[in-house]
Amino acid sequence: MSDLDRVLAAVDADLDASLERLFAFLRIPSISTDSAYASECRRAGQWLVDDLAGLGFTAKLNDTPGHPIVTGRSETGASRRVMFYGHYDVQPVDPLDLWQSAPFEPCIVENEEGVKRIVARGSADDKGQVMTFVEACRAFVKVTGKLPIDVTVMVEGEEESGSANIGPFIDAHKDELKADLALVCDTGMWDPQTPAIILSLRGLMHDEIVVRCADRDLHSGYYGGAAANPLHVLAKILAEVHGTDGAITIPGFYDGVIEPPDYMKASWADLDLTPENFLGPVGLAQPIGEQDRSLVEMISSRPTFEVNGMWGGYIGEGSKTVIPAIATAKISCRLVANQDPVHVRDAVRAFVRSRIPADCSVEFLGGEGSPAVAVAHDNPDLGKAAEALAAEWGRPPVTIGEGGSIPVVGAFKKALGQDTLLVGFSLDDDRIHSPNEKYDLTSFHKGIRSWVRILAALAG
């Protein structure tokens, strides 16, 4: 039996124990956006530090102005080194009443087809994915006494809240973090049978818009018909953002947007992505993006504008005849290649300002962002990883752009000069960021086996 086969067999034999470890990690409610959970974030980071130390990594919890960053280094003396990145923080759990089991009490649920799923907040995004890599390392250490390639681990606790502190951390620790290649496990598969190597991620700009009209809440009997209503003002402006053709009407919004490279367009030809199979499972039928664009373009290579939340006035039980003084919306834009987050923010703000009535006012809170990233598609290591994935899944990975964002990935090239391999095992129906988040047991098990094969291939 080859070393590789023995390590894979050890993964299979250790699956139950590796699930127990993942469950312990999942039980820690490390919600990064809510300051009430700061100590839990720290606890999750420390849990990972201890686990890595047990595998022989020199591991530590690095303080930042926000949540701490986990780092670990192996020193096997191998000629190559990879840096693995993931995040231990998770999204908030609300609405809690829609969960069928407690979000931080992980369990295995079997669906009607006998598919076993790990259900918990963070199971797919991203603790389960992080542990696919850690368990692969564990199996190597157990069977061969060491890793086949040197590994630096960097797992942050603020990815879900914008990764504000990891850029400065990387700048300050370049020597410690430098590797031949970055590995990221925070993305999805193409479908349950087909792995994916992600070649681009969209960027993000998010902002909060606060519109104020009268200097107090008003009785709609006295003032209705005369006084401006900030909810109406805001709703009208937001409704004007999209034209009937689905395009965004904000002047300057599309500045810098480029068409995807030919190699990526070529890879779309084989993808079977239809409104039925993509939107059908979430109860929709009609793609609402730019009507002259294909569905795959809408979700990966075109920018978007979304209202993520909007509130104001009375939302309690019964009715209240009020004209509110204030209305607020949280908005975010997915960005694509060459769009500048600051330029987009300024374009959005100018569009809103120009539509605010003269006796009303608008204030913006936030406006942070990170640009889109494209990773090198011609790095030979990506070819090796593709072969390794093909060996595990019985078919080659698709190479696609992903619509989500992982803000730090741009810094791997810019600050450390290293290319990134983005491979993950999450599925479209994992409900990341939603109630009842799950990670298929197959994703976890074959994810570990995939990393074993990828590490062996990169070492060899």
Give the DSSP letter of residue 275. Answer: H
Q: Counting Cβ atoms within 10 Å, is residue 227 exposed (0-12), middle (13-18) or buried (19+)?
A: middle
β-bridge partners, 439: 118
Please report how close the Cβ of residue 74 comes to ligand BES at its closest, in angstroms: 25
Please report how close the Cβ of residue 114 comes to ligand BES at its closest, in angstroms: 26
126 part of the interface to Zn ion, by CB under 5 A? yes
Residues comprising the chain, all counted: 460
Nearer to ligand BES, 187 or 304 (CB): 187
Nearer to Zn ion, 81 or 87 (CB): 87
Which residues touch 380 (CB under 8 Å, ≥6 apart)? none
Residue 187 binds which of Zn ion, ligand BES, none (CB < 5-8 A, kind-dependent): ligand BES
159 part of the interface to ligand BES, by CB under 6 A? yes
402 part of the interface to ligand BES, by CB under 6 A? yes
Distance of CA 243 to the CA centre of its chain: 28
Residue 440 binds which of ligand BES, Zn ion, none (CB < 5-8 A, kind-dependent): none
* DSSP string of 21-36, one letter each residue: HHHHHHTS--BTT-GG
φ, ψ of residue 319 in degrees (nearest 5): -125, 160
Distance of CA 222 to the CA centre of its chain: 48
**Residue 74 three-state SS:** coil
The interface region with Zn ion, picked from 74-82, 123-131, 371-379, 419-427 by CB under 5 A, is: 123-131
Please report how close the Cβ of residue 69 comes to ligand BES at its closest, in angstroms: 16
Please report how close the Cβ of residue 280 comes to ligand BES at its closest, in angstroms: 19
430 part of the interface to Zn ion, by CB under 5 A? no
Cα atoms in the 13 Å half-sphere on the side-chain side of 327: 21
89 part of the interface to ligand BES, by CB under 6 A? no
**Residue 352 three-state SS:** helix
Residue 402 binds which of Zn ion, ligand BES, none (CB < 5-8 A, kind-dependent): ligand BES
Which residues touch 144 (CB under 8 Å, ≥6 apart)? 3, 6, 7
β-bridge partners, 364: 209
Please report how close the Cβ of residue 82 comes to ligand BES at its closest, in angstroms: 20
339 part of the interface to ligand BES, by CB under 6 A? no
Nearer to ligand BES, 89 or 392 (CB): 89
Please report how close the Cβ of residue 186 comes to ligand BES at its closest, in angstroms: 4
430 part of the interface to ligand BES, by CB under 6 A? no
- Provide the greatest CA pair distance for the chain: 85
Nearer to Zn ion, 29 or 230 (CB): 29
Among 186, 182, 187, residue whose Cα is nearest residue 152: 182
Among 371, 407, 410, 447, binds ligand BES (CB under 6 A): 407
Please report how close the Cβ of residue 201 comes to ligand BES at its closest, in angstroms: 7
Q: Which helix (H) or strand (E) holds 443?
A: helix 441-459
Nearer to ligand BES, 150 or 430 (CB): 430
89 part of the interface to Zn ion, by CB under 5 A? no
Among 125, 135, 297, 392, binds Zn ion (CB under 5 A): 125
341 part of the interface to ligand BES, by CB under 6 A? no
The interface region with Zn ion, picked from 168-176, 181-189, 286-294, 411-419 by CB under 5 A, is: 181-189
Q: Structure tokens of 374? A: 């494209």
Nearer to Zn ion, 150 or 430 (CB): 430
Nearer to ligand BES, 74 or 165 (CB): 165
Question: How many residues sit close enough to ligand BES to count as binding (CB under 6 A)?
Answer: 14
Contacts 24+ apart (CB under 8 A), 344-348: 344/205, 344/253, 344/303, 344/369, 345/205, 345/207, 345/369, 346/252, 347/250, 347/251, 347/252, 347/253, 347/255, 348/205, 348/207, 348/250, 348/253, 348/305
187 part of the interface to ligand BES, by CB under 6 A? yes
Nearer to Zn ion, 52 or 406 (CB): 406
Residue whose structure tokens are 């407690």: 102
Contact status, residue 104 vs residue 112, Cβ threshold 8 Å: no
| Residues 196-235 contacting ligand BES, CB under 6 A | 204
160 part of the interface to ligand BES, by CB under 6 A? yes
Contact positions vs Zn ion (CB under 5 A): 125-126, 186
Contact positions vs ligand BES (CB under 6 A): 125-126, 159-160, 162, 186-188, 204, 402, 404-407
